[in-house]
């Protein structure tokens, strides 16, 4: 076992290298490019054998990844933001083929306006595509999750692509100490890919991507995909157990942080959970009983466990690093849905949006979240989501607007 200071991108590439991937279709996009550059280097110097192919677009890239997986080779690819959105049609198509491969998405806010910092609107746009989704918090978790992702994807109870999401910049370009697992142990954890789905072979004709043109057949295959994604919950648990046994690090579908006696709970996803944990520590020092639940497995949704963790608490605040204009935070809706039929729901549930495009969530904004949760009363009916923003940030934007010539004299104020 080696410990190295790796960026999240390098950790993703190391995951693919240790999984001995045989085919990587690639297309560059900030902040993901370092992943495919690292892999290109390893295919060139022989550390990896197989094929690394640069494609003309992410749409082709994801199609190629799916097609390669139908031939039974272990396939890895990576993208970000606009790239994932551009590949959207292909995401749905290849998951319909029920082929296992791993796609790393490095989250980045979507256009327009163009930005490079992270939020989760890109990856959540793909949440219904039939991919398993794992959202990670640290660089170590990036590497570990890529290895786990191959095991889950290739299990016959699942046989679907798995998307591992890491936040741009905060993980992609940040070095953290990462343990690179021993290659022999990885082989024990993740043996060579033995496909369960029908593969293309010279000696065997298979038609993939067929039309069914009838609602019953279509529904059957969509329901099967749903069941397969659901199965990933149990498979993730088994895989996490194996991973713990071999490598000593344990990952749940959800991560609990200081939850034992927590009355107020923050729910977050991704690297900004670290900021949430820091706020929890600060509040704990002040004697407040606050905890945090991090959503790691987004699809399948670990609804029962989520309900188990949140029922009986006094207040739950979901901080979404995404925005569905006209609705608010996306994951808030999912958390609320998981609690809908429980009897001991938290009397206060509130939705917050923050950290869009990599905007910080400052201690002051976390304090605002706690204040809102403290002051909220049960049975207030629908309360719109709170948009986290600071005065200093507002001033900064107004300064930028004035540089851009706004407001124009006499036209706007």
Partner 1 sequence: MISGNTSALTIAESLGKASALSVGLGAAAVRLSGLITIEQLREAVQMELEELGLDAQVIEENLRLAEEVYGGLENVTIQPEKVPPKELVHEMAYDHVLLGTPSILAPGNAEARQTGSWRVERPEINYEHCTRCGLCFVGCPDGAIALDEQGYPVIDYDHCKGCLICLEQCPRHSIVSKKEVRSW
221 contributes a contact to partner 1 by CB under 8 A: yes
Q: What's the min distance (Å) between Cβ of 72 and partner 1?
A: 13
CB of 94 or CB of 318, closer to partner 1: 94
Window 166-205: contact mask with partner 1 (x via CB under 8 A): ------------------------------xxx-----xx
Q: What's the min distance (Å) between Cβ of 233 and partner 1?
A: 12
Q: What's the min distance (Å) between Cβ of 194 and partner 1?
A: 13
Q: What is the distance between the alpha carbons of residues 391 and 90, in angstroms, rounded to a whole number?
A: 42
Binders of partner 1 among 139-168, rule CB under 8 A?
Answer: 156-157, 159
Q: What is the distance between the alpha carbons of residues 161 and 129, in angstroms, rounded to a whole number?
A: 10
231 contributes a contact to partner 1 by CB under 8 A: yes
89 contributes a contact to partner 1 by CB under 8 A: no
In this structure, what DSSP letter does residue 356 have?
A: G
The contacts found for 206-211 with CB under 8 angstroms, 24 or more apart, are: 206/70, 208/70, 208/97, 209/93, 209/96, 209/97
CB of 26 or CB of 152, closer to partner 1: 152
Whether the CB-CB separation of 174 and 122 falls below 8 Å is answered with no
Binders of partner 1 among 95-114, rule CB under 8 A?
Answer: 96-98
In this structure, what DSSP letter does residue 71 have?
A: T
CB of 223 or CB of 244, closer to partner 1: 223
In this structure, what DSSP letter does residue 328 have?
A: B
228 contributes a contact to partner 1 by CB under 8 A: yes
Q: How many CB atoms lie within 10 A of CB 53?
A: 16
**Residues in Cβ contact with 381 at an 8 Å cutoff, skipping those fewer than 6 apart:** none
92 contributes a contact to partner 1 by CB under 8 A: no
| Residue 57 backbone phi and psi in degrees, to 5 | -170, 170
CB of 231 or CB of 264, closer to partner 1: 231
Binders of partner 1 among 285-344, rule CB under 8 A?
Answer: none
47 contributes a contact to partner 1 by CB under 8 A: no
For 263, the 3-state DSSP assignment is coil
Q: What is the distance between the alpha carbons of residues 255 and 249, in angstroms, rounded to a whole number?
A: 13
212 contributes a contact to partner 1 by CB under 8 A: yes
For 184, the 3-state DSSP assignment is helix
402 contributes a contact to partner 1 by CB under 8 A: no
Distance of CA 399 to the CA centre of its chain: 34
Binding region for partner 1 (CB under 8 A): 96-98, 156-157, 159, 196-198, 204-210, 212, 217, 220-221, 223-225, 227-228, 230-231
């Amino acid at each position: 076992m080696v410990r190295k200071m790796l960026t999240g991108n390098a950790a993703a590439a190391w995951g693919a290298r240790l999984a001995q991937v045989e085919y990587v279709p690639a297309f560059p996009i900030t902040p993901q490019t370092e992943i495919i550059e690292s892999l290109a280097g390893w295919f060139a110097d022989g550390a990896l054998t197989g094929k690394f192919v640069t494609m003309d677009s992410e749409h082709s890239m994801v199609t190629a990844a799916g097609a390669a997986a139908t031939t039974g080779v272990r396939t890895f690819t990576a993208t970000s933001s606009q790239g994932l959105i551009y590949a959207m049609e292909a995401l749905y198509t290849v998951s319909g083929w029920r082929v296992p491969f791993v796609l790393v998405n490095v989250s980045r806010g979507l256009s327009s306006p163009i930005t490079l910092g992270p939020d989760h609107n890109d990856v959540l746009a793909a949440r219904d595509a039939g991919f398993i989704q794992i959202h990670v918090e640290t660089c170590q978790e990036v590497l570990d999750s890529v290895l786990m992702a191959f095991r889950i994807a290739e299990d016959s109870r699942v046989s679907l692509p798995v998307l591992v999401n890491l936040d741009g910049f905060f993980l992609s370009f940040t070095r953290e100490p990462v343990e690179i697992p021993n290659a022999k142990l990885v082989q024990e954890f993740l043996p060579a890919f033995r496909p369960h789905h029908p593969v293309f072979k010279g000696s065997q004709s298979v038609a993939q991507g067929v039309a069914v043109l009838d609602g019953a057949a279509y529904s059957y295959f969509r329901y099967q995909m749903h069941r397969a994604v659901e199965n990933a919950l149990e498979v993730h648990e088994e895989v996490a157990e194996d991973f713990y046994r071999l490598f000593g690090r344990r990952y749940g579908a959800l991560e609990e942080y200081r939850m034992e006696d927590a009355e107020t709970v923050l729910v977050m996803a991704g690297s900004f959970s670290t900021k949430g944990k820091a706020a929890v520590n600060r509040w704990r020092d002040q004697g407040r009983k606050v905890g945090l639940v991090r959503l790691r497995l987004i699809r399948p949704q670990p609804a029962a466990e989520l309900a188990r963790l949140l029922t009986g608490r006094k207040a739950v605040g979901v901080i979404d690093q995404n925005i569905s204009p006209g609705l608010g935070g996306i994951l808030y809706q999912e958390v609320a849905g998981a609690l809908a039929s429980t009897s001991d729901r938290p009397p206060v549930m509130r939705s917050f949006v923050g950290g869009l495009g990599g905007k910080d969530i400052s201690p002051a904004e976390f304090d605002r979240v706690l204040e809102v949760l403290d002051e909220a009363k049960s049975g207030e009916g629908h309360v719109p989501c709170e948009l986290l923003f600071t005065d200093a940030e507002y001033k900064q934007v107004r300064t930028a607007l004035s540089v851009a010539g706004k407001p124009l004299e006499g036209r706007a104020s």
